[in-house]
Amino acid sequence: MLIDSYDRVVDYIRVSVTERCNFRCQYCMPEKPFSWVPKENLLSFEELFEFMKIAIDEGVKKIRITGGEPLLREDLDKFIKMIYDYKPTVDLAMTTNAYLLKGTAQKLVDAGLKRINVSIDTLKPDIAQKIAGKDVLKNVLDGVNEALKVGLKVKVNMVPMKGMNENEILEVLEYCKERNMSIRFIEYMENTHAKVDISGLKSKELLEILGAKYKFTDEGFDGSSPSHYYLLEDGYKFGIIEPYEDDFCKKCNRIRLTAEGNLIPCLYFDEAMSIRDSIKKGDIQGAALILKEVIRTKPEKNRWGGEDGEVSTRAFYETGG
């Protein structure tokens, strides 16, 4: 079992299989063009799988594939199948923008994927274009329909931003509710890669908007999920992810692996250790030691909401959120 210095059990790893993306979401990526890590620097799926085996053997029970956009990486279904065949009981999920999901959803299910999280910030094509930098909405919604059709469980992530999609909070929730998909509103997390003038809605503001239409009760937290849950009268639950609040880190059970092999203990900080050389040399024991060291150095909490005005320099497209 992996336990950090604050007695938190770490049993969840998020694997970013590429930092590349077909979107340029304002809250995630720089506006101006920048150069990607060369493809040859990425670990192969076989190499990533070697590390997944180590993590699973050390007690990891949940693996989320993310990016950048994970569906940009060819043969993703083969990576999913490797993990599934090694341990079918691992809770295997993926976070995607859904743009390429229509043609791939069935293959992913056949490989062993059960659940996906999809980012839907708006149901208006022009706002989607503004947020993502291109006309994406039709493909995203087609992708979601396909995912539901092939039996994937779908959760939706929405990042509410002032002057952008703040007047669609109720609509996006209704869209999810009608399709039996849960929704989590994610407070915008400031970082140096995002567009500078974004102002995200905080949970208090979200609750005011939602409270104008619905009655709900505060359900608190559920296990290690960072979501603060609320229950509507009709039984539908929605979540809010509040990184600026203290509770966010208390039950944190996760670490992150980038496509290049950097193992990251916290979403906020730049600190990381590379498992790349160990994995490339086939040094399983060495990679396991690095995993334990990263767990040992996992910080107690992030600094969003800190008083010194410091902004995270960690890129979401690299860590996978």
Q: Residue 262: in which H helix or E strand, if any? A: strand 262-264
Select the binding partner of residue 154 from ligand SF4, ligand SAM, none (C-beta < 5 to 8 A, by kind): none
Integer angstrom CA distances of residue 212 from 170, 207, 209, 279, 297 = 10, 8, 5, 53, 43
Question: Rounded distance, CA 48 to CA 42, Å?
Answer: 9
* 233 burial type by CB count under 10 A (0-12 exposed, 13-18 middle, 19+ buried): exposed
From 4, 19, 50, 69, residue interacting with ligand SAM (rule: CB under 6 A): 69
Specify the residue for token string 């890129």.
Answer: 315
Could you give the angle at the alpha carbon of 112 between the alpha carbons of 108 and 117, nearest 5°? 60
Q: Is the dihedral of CA 186, 251, 116, 58 positive or negative?
A: positive
Q: What DSSP designation does 126 have?
A: H
Q: What are phi and psi of 100, to 5 degrees?
A: -105, 15
Residues in contact with ligand SAM, total (CB under 6 A)?
21
Specify the residue for token string 């860590």.
Answer: 319
Question: Rounded distance, CA 172 to CA 178, Å?
Answer: 10
Contact letters for ligand SAM, residues 23-42 (x by CB under 6 A): ----xx--------------
By Cβ distance, which residue is nearest to ligand SAM?
321
Rounded to the nearest whole angstrom, what is the least distance from the CB of residue 50 to ligand SAM in the complex? 23
**Considering only residues 91-130, where is the footprint of ligand SAM by CB under 6 A?**
95-97, 119
Rounded to the nearest whole angstrom, what is the least distance from the CB of residue 96 to ligand SF4 in the complex? 8
Select the binding partner of residue 60 from ligand SAM, ligand SF4, none (C-beta < 5 to 8 A, by kind): none
Stretch that binds ligand SAM, among 21-29, 215-223, 285-293, 294-302 (CB under 6 A): 21-29
How far is residue 315 CA from its own chain's centroid? 12
- 317 contacts ligand SAM (rule: CB under 6 A): yes
Q: What are phi and psi of 300, to 5 degrees?
A: -65, -40
Q: Which residues bind ligand SF4 (CB under 6 A)?
A: 21, 23-25, 28-29, 67-69, 97, 119, 316-317
- 257 contacts ligand SAM (rule: CB under 6 A): no
Rounded to the nearest whole angstrom, what is the least distance from the CB of residue 208 to ligand SF4 in the complex? 26
Q: State which residue, 30 or 299, has the beta carbon closest to ligand SF4.
A: 30
Cα-only R_g, the chain: 19
Select the binding partner of residue 66 from ligand SF4, ligand SAM, none (C-beta < 5 to 8 A, by kind): ligand SAM
- 312 contacts ligand SAM (rule: CB under 6 A): no
Rounded to the nearest whole angstrom, what is the least distance from the CB of residue 316 to ligand SF4 in the complex? 6
Question: Rounded distance, CA 99 to CA 122, Å?
Answer: 14
Interacting residues with ligand SAM (CB under 6 A)? 21, 27-28, 66-67, 69, 95-97, 119, 157, 159, 186, 188-189, 191, 194, 316-317, 320-321
